Chain A
Amino acid sequence: MNEQQLTELIERYIGGEMSPDERLYFEQLRKSNPEVDSAVVEHTLFAQQLDRYAGVKDFKAKMTGVHNTLAQSGAIAPGSQKSGGRVVQLFHRYKRTAAIAASIAGITALSISVLVSSINPGAPTADIANLNRKLNELNRKNQEQDRAINKVAQNVAAPVVSYKRGGTGFLVSTQGYLVTNAHVVQDATNIAVQSNSGKEYATKLVFTDAARDLAILKIVDSAFKAPAQLPYSIKKGTADIAEPIYTLGFPRNDMVYGEGYLAAKTGLNGDTLTCQISIAANPGNSGGPILNRKGEVVGVLSTKQTSAEGVVFATQSKYIYQALATLQEDDTAARRIKIPAVPGLKTTDRTQQVKKIADYVFMVKVS
Chain B
Amino acid sequence: MKDQQEQELLKGLAQSDRKAIETVYRDNYNLVQALVVNNGGTADDAKDVFQEAMVVLYEKARSAQFKLESSIRTYLYAVSRRLWLKKLALQNRMQVVADAEAIDLDVAEDVADEAEKARQHIAMEGALGQLGEPCRTLIEAFYFKKKNMGEIAALLGYTNADNAKTQKYKCLMRLKKLFFAQAKTAS
Contacts and interface: CB of A to CB of B under 8 A. Distances in A.
Interface stretch (A56-64, A105-113, A179-187, A294-302): A56-64
Q: Which of A3, A7, A50, A70 has the most CB of B within 10 A?
A: A50
B124 A8 contact: no
Contact of A79 (B13, B33, B54): B33
Contact of A83 (B16, B34, B43): B43
A41 to B, nearest CB: 14
A71 to B, nearest CB: 9
A55 B63 CA distance: 12
A63 B25 contact: yes
Nearest to A75: B26
Given A50-B143, A55-B62, A58-B16, A93 B41 contact: yes
Given A59-B58, A60-B51, A76-B33, A66 B22 contact: yes
Interface string A62-98: 1111110110000111111011000001001100110
A93 B40 contact: yes
Contacts of B54: 59, 63
A47 interface: yes
A341 interface: no
Given A92-B40, A93-B42, A67 B25 contact: yes
Interface string B105-133: 00000000000010011001100000000
Interface residues of A, number: 39
B40 A80 contact: no
B144 to A, nearest CB: 4
Contacts of B166: 4
Nearest to B57: A59
A59 B17 CA distance: 9
Contact of B144 (A7, A54, A92): A54
Nearest to A88: B42
Contacts of B176: 46
B55 interface: yes
Contact of B22 (A4, A53, A69): A69
Contacts, number: 107
B18 A50 contact: no
A67 B165 CA distance: 39
B83 interface: no
B47 A79 contact: yes
B43 A80 contact: yes
A284 B152 CA distance: 107
Given A7-B172, A54-B143, A63 B51 contact: yes
B179 interface: yes
A278 to B, nearest CB: 95
Contact of B55 (A8, A59, A66, A76): A59
Contacts of A142: none
A4 B172 CA distance: 10
B58 A51 contact: no
Nearest to B24: A66
B30 interface: yes
Contacts of A77: 29-30, 33-34
Given A4-B166, A52-B117, A67-B47, A62 B21 contact: yes
A44 B42 CA distance: 41
A3 B169 CA distance: 9
Contacts of B93: 97
B55 A60 contact: yes
B46 interface: yes
A50 B124 contact: yes
A92 B47 CA distance: 17
Interface in B12-71: 13, 16, 18, 21-22, 25-26, 29-30, 33-34, 37, 40-44, 46-47, 51, 54-55, 58-59, 62
Interface in B135-181: 139-140, 143-144, 165-166, 169, 172, 176, 179
B146 to A, nearest CB: 9
B123 to A, nearest CB: 9
A89 B45 CA distance: 11
A238 interface: no
Contacts of A89: 42
Contacts of B34: 77
Given A4-B169, A53-B124, A80-B44, A70 B25 contact: yes
Nearest to A95: B40
Given A56-B58, A76-B25, 13 more contacts: A47-B143, A50-B139, A52-B120, A57-B144, A59-B13, A59-B55, A60-B55, A67-B29, A67-B51, A70-B25, A76-B30, A77-B30, A83-B37
14 contacts: A49-B124, A50-B144, A52-B121, A53-B124, A54-B144, A62-B16, A62-B18, A67-B25, A70-B22, A70-B29, A76-B30, A77-B29, A77-B30, A89-B42
Interface of A: 3-4, 7-8, 46-47, 49-60, 62-67, 69-70, 75-80, 82-83, 89, 92-93, 96-97
